[in-house]
Copies of this chain bind each other. A is one copy, B any other.
Amino acid sequence: MPLSRANEVSRGARDSKGVLYVVATPIGNLDDITLRALKILKQVQLVAAEDTRRTGILLRHFGIETAILSVHAHNERARIERIVSQLGRGESVALVTDAGTPGISDPGAALVAAIREAGFRVEPIPGASAVAAAVSASGVSSQGFTFLGFPPVRSKDRKIWFSQLSEASRHRLVVFFEAPHKVRKTLEDLGQLVKRPIIIGRELTKLHEEFVSGTALELAARFEAPQGEFTVLVPPVELDEQAAVEVTQDSVIEIFGQITESQQSGSKRDAARQTGERLGLTAKQVYEIIERNK
């Protein structure tokens, strides 16, 4: 007979036992770390890290000398035993991944589950997350969102994945990640299913951070040999239909006219650029419409 569970998952014993802190770290800019994360990373006896080299850079940058232990998919089982025994001795451990919030599209979840199962307290130390950052700066209004991680590689899996994406994006914003060398193919595949404009955040929090908008096929052409991590946002169909300003030739001509009239001096090129900024078009696109309708 299967039994239901109604236990406290994380309040193992607040007194003598160690705590596993799940600590979010920067996704690009090293100053995207919280005061509490710095305190915890300094205070624990061990930092369990997905990528010891990257975590080493972070800790050295802030003068933190805590020991680092590598924990990844291939040594997870042995590491869990070691971490459980450290926690049992009353020592605390911080879990970090190479960037962002652990357990979101990375191998941290199994470790966290095992530590909980062993009766230890697990505490999140919140901080940078590429998903939350991209959603917050996208301006897409949505009651919630779906995050899908990275697209799978095998074509059979991809087919299922993209159809799930298409279905999920009917109701709400969908967010996923893609690596630079795969982004073109992924945008081409996405463009077969989704014709409305999407938004891409690239190199979030870094020097060359940018958000670009367009259809998936347009953006595929734009990112031929790109760099950096990609966060792709697919706005929901329903909100898109409600809220999108439909850009018509008439609205281009009208706004271009208003801007040229209000300019005391200034070139047509300037007016085309300003019109484009208002409507989400390039200056060239505006110019072509104006020329065509003279």
Listed in ascending order, the chain A residues whose CB lies under 8 Å from chain B are: 1-12, 22, 24, 27, 29, 31-36, 39, 101-105, 108-110, 112-119, 122-149, 164, 168, 171-172, 176, 197, 199, 204-205, 209-215, 218-219, 222, 246-249, 252, 274, 276-282, 285, 289
Contact = CB atoms under 8 A, between A and B. Distances in A.
A143 B105 contact: yes
A61 B64 CA distance: 25
B9 A213 contact: yes
Q: How many copies does the complex hold?
A: 2
B32 A126 contact: yes
Nearest to A285: B3
Contacts of A249: 1, 3
Nearest to A95: B136
A219 B9 CA distance: 13
A71 B282 CA distance: 31
Contacts of A209: 123
B35 A109 contact: no
A107 to B, nearest CB: 9
A215 B145 contact: no
A114 B36 CA distance: 34
* Minimum-distance CB pairs A-B, first 9: A113-B139, A6-B214, A112-B139, A124-B137, A119-B277, A126-B133, A126-B128, A109-B141, A5-B280
Contacts of A143: 105, 148-149
A234 to B, nearest CB: 13
24 contacts: A1-B248, A1-B249, A3-B285, A4-B197, A4-B215, A5-B215, A5-B279, A8-B211, A10-B210, A22-B136, A24-B133, A27-B126, A101-B136, A103-B139, A104-B135, A104-B145, A105-B143, A109-B139, A124-B133, A125-B133, A126-B127, A143-B148, A144-B148, A148-B172
Name which of A8, A9, A212 has the most chain B CB atoms within 10 A of its CB: A9
Contacts of A278: 117-119
- Among A36, A248, A285, the most chain B Cβ lie within 10 Å of the Cβ of A36
B113 A140 contact: yes
A8 to B, nearest CB: 5
A122 B148 contact: no
Contacts of A133: 24, 101, 124-126
B144 A144 contact: no
Contact of A213 (B1, B6, B134, B149): B6
A12 B277 CA distance: 8
Contacts of A34: 31-35, 127-128
A93 to B, nearest CB: 13
